[in-house]
Structure 1
Amino acid sequence: MKHARCLAAVTMALACTSAGGKGTSTVNDGTDAVDGTPTPDVFTADSADDPDAGDGSADVDAGPVDGAEDIAHGDDTTSEPDAIETPDTVESPDTVESPDTAETPDTSETPDTQAIPDTAETPDTAVPPDTAVTPDTAVTPDTQETPDTEDTPDVQVIPDTQETPDTNTTEPDTGVVPLTSCQSPIEVGALPFSDSGSTIVNGLGEGSLAISGSGCGSGFSGVGAGAPEAVYRFTPTVSGSYAFTLSTSFDAALWVFEDCANPTTTCEVAGKVAAGQTGAFGTYLLSGDPVFVVVDGLFGDAASGSYTLTIEKKCLPNCDGKSCGTDGCGGSCGTCTSPDQCTQGKCETPLATEICLAGEPIDSVPWETTGSWWSQTTDVLTVPPSCSGSTVTGGNGKERVFRFTAPYTGRFRASFSIPGISGSVALYAVKDCTKISSTCLAGAIGGMPAITLELIEGEAVFLVLDENSDATELNGTYTFSIDGCMPDCTGVGCGLETGCGDFCGGCDGSDLCGVNGQCTASQVGESCDDPRVIAAVPYSVASATTGANNDIDFTVCIADLDTMYNKTDGAADHVYAFTPPISGHYEARITMGTGFEHIAYLLQDCGDVAHSCADQFSGKCGNTMSGCTRELGTVMTAGETWYIVIDGYTASSSGGYFLDFDATCVEQCGLKECGPDTCIGSCGTCLPGTLCSTEGQCEETWHLAINELDYNQVGTDTLEFVEIVNPTNVVAPLAGIVVETINGDTDDVLNSYSVSNVGSSLAPGARIVIGMAAVQASLPAGTAFISASSGFLQNGGTYGDGIRIRKGLTTIDAVSWDAPVTGASEGEDAGTDDGAGTLSRCPDGTDTNDNASDFVLSATATPGKANSCL
């Protein structure tokens, strides 16, 4: 869009420039009152020359005119030096022009023949160059002069925008008021509106507008001062929000105000846009009230350039007649105070019926939802004290309502929870929200309330979750769920039915509940001697202990000491036996019937429950649903028999149950003898003298064993000794190996002997004897001997004594006698030497890492030789 420009039809006396800017000026070039003959007004361009010396004449252009400006005014695109102008008579084109620097003053001008002469003026006679001009101090403007009708005004001269303004030039008063940008704004038409322009082009604005205060916001004081601006006028046809978008090539400001005379105090919106950027600003405008939209430089006349301005109508908010809800544009017309709700823009207290009917529908099970408690809540309903399961009058806080319709005839359980809840919640079910007390079906209050309902297909109820009080704050994410089942005892003679796990009854007389839910006269399953055998897995059974005998009394399970239990004397029990064909981890999953106070345990020896028990659980399954499910499990080795016992917790306790038994995993050892297994933990351990290879095979390595010892003789102990043997087929290195005797009272080392003193290694089957001097005489030739003092082996006693072979911190072998000794025992102690024999490994050299199993008391001592084991 072209902006307002200075028009050729405007009289030459009219100024066409922005105030304080650079432009073309019309001046009187002489003193028109010398001889009464008017001299022509010369239309010259301000140059970069020095300012007028004060003679009232304009500077003469000192250089070529900008070609771009020539184009804007219709001149040739090739700039040429300004010529010496001919006076306006019947003017001829400027044909002989000289550069401004050599311009000759007008000395021979002929007065305008068509002009009305100034009768009091003296004609210009000889005007010298600007540097010698005397200021016109008595010039009277040509107020009566008639324009030359035959002349062509010099309207083609383009002002040099880089020139210094003629600050001393007095322009003639033509009687025409100069146009300002607010007086001649660009009118904004239909929206959306977009316009591209430039504040550089002459005539857009005069640089007169500036924000002098803070009416447009902080940081806008002085914005726009001295910079040219483009002004638009926009009159909204409808009240609403409008967006103003500005893209600029210079540091610019965009401001919208109502009054040009008071731009700061009537400012609607303002913003700054950096060069090369785009900014968008919005404000609410009233229909019919015009505003001025100004594109301005930030500071000074250097802040100017090209721009694109866009004006659009945005969403029109509407809150007419509303006290709440949305305004249609993402805003709010207000909020309601609880318990009021916003209904069609009005805050109204909802009726209980409305609250319930607006609840979230539920028509299938199982069903679960999670979310934030504080959303979708009201504060209208109150749980009554008469509601079943509710022990306090509560639920006086915010509530949420769900509408549940039973999809079938059965039992349904609703439960609610919030992790880390600090308050309590009421959960209740009602048929009519206006008659809660008389139509309440069930209720519960607590941290995780749950209720159970018996409903027929199609029956509808309202499930209400209610804070116990307004002080209760249920922060966090809640979970609310419903599940259900259909109880059916059809065809079930005893025990539990499979729908909801309900107890369908016991058996008459001496009959017992069998494994298929039918009464039977069989006594199988009454004891560990005659258990119900689990022949294969998986295995499932439904039965009941009702009417069964008491065969096992439970006291405690040492392997699982979470809780100590009383003996279950007199309680009916059932026993199941399983012998795994393959090692693995096996698990019994047991669901107890409603109200059955029970205990279940897993063991290997019914005669020693406490020590052979591997796992147990007990409790009383809930009275709100179909019982509870727990597990018993352990690693079982192939060929070993385990027993599963389902027992009453007290003598009078009995009930129905479901039992499912299966392997959770089996060993993957295959041909491996040793090494780890992900299911059972280990495929086996290797005997001393062997190591487990990466292939899981026990491979022989060197080993040293304490093979025989005699710490007590009849009378004075003169033959004390200990024999060390290499029981392997591999040479045993002796470097760093010591033999230590241990005092069982304090677990301290009494004596230490370095066996490397007899050599660097010990051959397979070879022996070393450490003993008193009298022992050495009985040794076979070549037997390594280390002398020890009298009494180096103590006689045990209450705390026992011991001996061990060590290398560094590693114990290679250890033996204790009379009692186990910390740090010097393998399993139980080796026994007691009463003075009539020696403690010997039997068979000779055998080491199973259990002293009690490996040693016997031999009548004959055999130091340096194979043990007699007699």
Structure 2
Amino acid sequence: MVGLGACGGSSGGGGGDVVTTDTTVATDTAVTQDTAVTQDTAVTQDTAVTQDTAVTQDTAVTQDTVTQDTAVAQDTATCAPQCDGKTCGDDGCGGDCGTCDAGQACVSDACVQGLSCTDVIGCMQSSCDAADQTCLGDCLSQGTPSAQTTFLTLNDCAGTHSCQDSECVSTNCGAEVNACGSDCAPQCIGKVCGGDGCGGTCGTCEGELICNAGACAVAEPTPTTCDDAHGAVGCCANGNVYWFEGGALQGGSCPNNGCGWDASNSYYACSFTGADPSGANPIDCFGTNPAPDTCPACSCEGKTCGDDGCGGSCGTCDGDTFCGTISQCVATGTLQCKVKDGCTAADPCTCASCVTDGACDVDDDCVCPDCAAESFCIAASNCNGDGVCDMFNEGCQCADCAQLPLCAN
């Protein structure tokens, strides 16, 4: 070490310097003249020679130096990481304060949503001069780890071919360009479940918990009536949107994108957040219906089963009966649909057929004797709009092809 070499007075090693100097002094003492011995000065010199003071001092220097070096090593070994207020980045002692999840980047010691490869390029093009390496590096550091790797691979290819324009890059680095374009930055910040926007997931919920707008939550009751769902205005429950339309309760699943107030249309929908700012239309289902005029009049008059028109029930059928399309309990097998006499496949417009499943529904051609009176068969909208008039699934009035343009062909 430097300290030992300086004390020895030689260009050799520290320990060697000390030993060589003391030995030389001892040799000088051995050849001291007798007259020198009798002189006080000589005695003083002898005393100086015979004392191991020089060695002791040298040794002390060696110890001091070693002690100082040890203290330095101890200071280094006991470095206190500085991670207050940091979620990632350097801790000041050669370590880090944490790592970011996939799809994130460490920017200013915090995990933020990372940029995709194309977003990194966009940042560079919109914010940096071509020669500003600091700015370019800042944009790159905001990319996800995969985005940074993909960009650097593309950048290396462009450099290899000395490209100065996009045409050169496209011509020589097509695979790298495609890889950059397909790079996707998962969107999982603030989410513990649901989709990540790249075909993956941010996590799943355990047990009976459901994913609601990226968070695991206890499942809420599901609306079953028009009033529960607040009519056409709708409401949000379990990350889904519910509303009443077309005489039936409707629902849309949006756990990944959230459910909230669509101000432009004045109703609740997927891909929005928050409640109606006016407070007139609560986001939660149930409670007082803020839009009762959008719900049909609930009635079970003339019905023994089926829906009451508001999502409620008018009763259920027992035993071997089922609820027919006019909300009456009908014995299984009552509906016996038959093909008209003389019907041939060559003349399907005068023919009708039914699926003998005991129920008159969309699978049956409504001109069957027991089906023609059903209210379902009155609406021309129930015809199968496939442009082909056949004996199956055309429904209702399409059986008489001449009367409807849809069936004219």
The verdict on a shared fold, with TM-score over 0.5 as the criterion, is: no
Larger strand percent: 1
Larger helix percent: 2
Q: TM-score, normalised by structure 1?
A: 0.13
